[in-house]
Structure 1
């Protein structure tokens, strides 16, 4: 776990430090596809070992929120699966919430979730709660495609989490979770990007 991710290379073909947004956007798109492909390609045995290490650190970071509302994500395209950690916390008193995409270009809405909740297929066919009042999580567990040494996150390009965190009246604790292969020197953060407070990988 690292509050400030350490430096590593971002790969060849990266933009200059003063690159404009269209150049950065194109680079992000290419890097995103590369990292997702690498992530999907992790073997089952290797994935289990990496995930076990992540789960131990994630559980320790979430322990102070054992009686709070925790927003998390439904795993997608080879992402680390946080559900076992979150279900264990729910059994011990935590409440859980999943994000709902109401409209593109708008902040996410979180709805409470527990096993057995009615679900529907959302964007990218990711399950989300079918109904429920909007809630405001005390902490967000956020998936990473990539991340950099400043805590900025490379996601899927929709800007949903950045928009959501910026719009919240009370900012939640933000914990990014992903595999070490997503570590980059920089994602070339733009004014709309919001850094995460903690990054957790298997390292």
Structure 2
């Protein structure tokens, strides 16, 4: 990263504005369009509530939780992917109190994992992924989230690590409302192994999944492995 483009602060990015793009969005494939609208409004309200609660977590509590979550990610990668060496893992740059796993990103990259970050190249289209290393030049992307510059190699992940605003016992993720992760997971074949990370307090009874929602394979919090789904072997990346 260039010194002139230093990204200050523990959580350098402003809040994601994906949900503000289409707050009344509904899936036209849903059986009942009015129900889909009701779910969209409910989700918007829950995002606001959960983000407020997450922002209120103390720095010390957050750091302890993040260390535990990082250990859980290490264990999953060891158990399922022999450490994920030679795999392509998409991580994320934390914003607004999301679990900060940047130290783990560096550790994995040094160990031989190809680490990538998601990039919104075209609005309302699947994400692309650019390779990241500790020395990668970073620039501001959509919503000013730091991303690798366009000089970075574009890669396809076999494992996706994504933050959760909320989550339920079926592994469905409440994100920021833009639909980018669902759209991206649906577009990749074979589908990457999806790991959601968040805090235990963000658990919901249900997110009222709609036809476009794709459940994550594992959900990890500071309390451990909250959700572990069995996925068809053809959908799993080769370890």
The question of a shared fold, defined as TM-score above 0.5 by the shorter chain, is answered with yes
- Of 104-113 and 64-73, deviating more is 64-73
- Name the SS for the 1:134 alignment partner: coil
- Name the SS for the 1:30 alignment partner: helix
Higher relative contact order (CA 8 A, sep 6+): 1
| Alignment match, 2:100 | 81
Q: Give yes or no for the alignment of 1:180 onto 2:200.
A: yes
Question: How many angstroms apart in 1 are the aligned matches of 2:74 and 2:181?
Answer: 22
Q: How much has 1:112 moved relative to structure 2?
A: 0.5
Question: How many angstroms apart in 2 are the aligned matches of 1:117 and 1:55?
Answer: 22
Structure 2 unaligned segments of length 5 or more: list them.
Answer: 1-31, 224-239
Structure 2 counterparts to residues 13-92 of structure 1, below 5 A: 20-63=35-78, 64=81, 65-92=84-111
Q: Give yes or no for the alignment of 1:169 onto 2:184.
A: no
Runs of 4+ in 1 over 3 A off after TM superposition: none
Question: How many angstroms apart in 2 are the aligned matches of 1:168 and 1:162?
Answer: 10
Distance 1:52 1:25, change over 3 A: same
- Name the SS for the 1:53 alignment partner: helix
Q: TM-score, normalised by structure 1?
A: 0.88
Structure 1 unaligned segments of length 5 or more: list them.
Answer: 1-17
Q: How much has 1:118 moved relative to structure 2?
A: 1.7
Q: Give yes or no for the alignment of 1:145 onto 2:165.
A: yes
Structure 2 counterparts to residues 152-163 of structure 1, below 5 A: 152-163=172-183
Give per-residue Cα distances to partners, 1:26-71, cap 9 Å, x unaligned. 1100100111111111001111111121111111112321221110
- Name the SS for the 2:204 alignment partner: coil
- Name the SS for the 1:170 alignment partner: coil
Give per-residue Cα distances to partners, 1:145-177, cap 9 Å, x unaligned. 000111000000000000000000221111000
Aligned length: 186
| Alignment match, 2:141 | 122
| Alignment match, 2:7 | none
Give per-residue Cα distances to partners, 1:53-98, cap 9 Å, x unaligned. 1111111112321221110100011000111112111111111000
Out of 215, 227, 232, the residue aligned to residue 195 of structure 1 is 215
- Name the SS for the 2:118 alignment partner: strand
